[in-house]
Amino acid sequence: MKKITLLLSALFLFGVTFGQVKKYPPKVIIIGVGEKNPTFNEAQFPHIKFYYTPKLKPANESISEAGNAALSLLESNHIYKGEPEFVRNYWNLISSNKTFMLFDKESRCYTIGPDLLRRSNDINNAICSNDKTLGDNVKAVIKKEKTVKQNKKSIDLVQPDNIYDDVSISIKNYYKKFRKTMVGNKLPDFNIVDVKGNPTTINAVINNEPTLVLFFELPKNLDVNKYKDLSKEKNVGKFATSILSGNAAASLDQIFLEIESQIFKYDAREK
């Protein structure tokens, strides 16, 4: 009995749940905003498909590694310029590393949510725009093969002209207006590249399959491995930067670890 109790405690601490997302795992696609970070190892998360948008560039590329790490920890988005337009506007105005969209078998957005890990890191119980849990929605689109009614309205996501001059605009709440037009629509078919740089498009990747899509940002000058060698760093400034970078990387890693654990029953922690 004691062994069973300890096992259940360990599963709870690691974030394992027994909800619908595990019974009916959707395809999971993660879109990186901007270029691929050369220090990030996507292979650690084998069930997640990572893609990038290298034509998107930070409006202020002079931010230091420490500054980028601090922004990531505060979940404050960088403002981006370039293409694809949809990803640029979505990230600048609405998205964070935890915002998600679920697509049905017709590649239309079935529901959307602001925070995948809001409820005690429990993906299954993440609340969606239709007031149901993500677990219930995943069951609906996979087991029951439900589809959402096509939205007659076009996606409403217009970026203010002066967003590059007034960064505070990016924190305004565009989410409610956006979700009313995103649900029931397909994503605009923007270009992406895989981890090897091979080009494709978002709708070719979704490919009429139930799919969970998240966007994330990991600035290319943020070294996610620095914190592993802190004991060798004697420079105080570099030590502090390494701490920030490590914490920012760990915060992002948690999302991918939970997806692997809770959806695919896979322990992706580094051994």
Q: How confident is the model over 202-239, as pLDDT tens digits? A: 999 999 999 999 999 888 877 777 655 544 444 444 44
| pLDDT at res. 175 | 82
Does residue 72 belong to any structural domain of this protein?
A: yes
| pLDDT at res. 253 | 80
Does residue 14 belong to any structural domain of this protein?
A: no
CA atoms of 109 and 211, how far apart (whole Å): 9
Residue 229 is part of which domain span?
A: 19-264
Do the bridges between strand 199-201 and strand 48-53 make them parallel or antiparallel, or are there none, so unpaired? unpaired
CA atoms 69, 71, 74, 76: torsion sign? negative
Q: Among the ranges 49-63, 114-128, 164-178, 185-199, which has the highest mean pLDDT value?
A: 185-199
Between 242 and 37, the more confident residue is 37
Residues in the chain, overall count: 271
Does residue 7 belong to any structural domain of this protein?
A: no
Among residues 174, 157, 33, the alpha carbon closest in space to that of 94 is found at 174
Does residue 219 belong to any structural domain of this protein?
A: yes
Does residue 56 belong to any structural domain of this protein?
A: yes
| Residue 56 backbone phi and psi in degrees, to 5 | -90, 130
User: How far, rounded to the nearest angstrom, does the alpha carbon of residue 23 sit from its chain's CA centroid?
Assistant: 21
Q: Which pLDDT band, with edges at 50, 70 and 90, does 256 fall under?
A: very high
Q: Which of 20-24, 83-87, 219-223, 250-254 has the lowest mean pLDDT?
A: 250-254
Work out how many domains the chain is built from and give that number: 1
Does residue 242 belong to any structural domain of this protein?
A: yes
- DSSP string covering 171-222: GS--HHHHHHHHTTSBPP--EEEETT--EEEHHHHHTTS-EEEEEE---TT-
CA atoms of 30 and 118, how far apart (whole Å): 18
Q: Which pLDDT band, with edges at 50, 70 and 90, does 106 fall under?
A: very high
| pLDDT at res. 58 | 87
Does residue 9 belong to any structural domain of this protein?
A: no
pLDDT in tens, 159-188: 877 776 665 554 456 788 899 999 999 999
Instruction: Assess whether pLDDT exceeds 90 at residue 267.
Output: yes
| pLDDT at res. 264 | 95
CA atoms of 198 and 25, how far apart (whole Å): 26
Instruction: Assess whether pLDDT exceeds 60 at residue 66.
Output: no
Write the CB contacts of 211 (distance below 8 Å, at least 6 apart in sequence). 26, 27, 28, 29, 102, 103, 107, 205
Does residue 193 belong to any structural domain of this protein?
A: yes
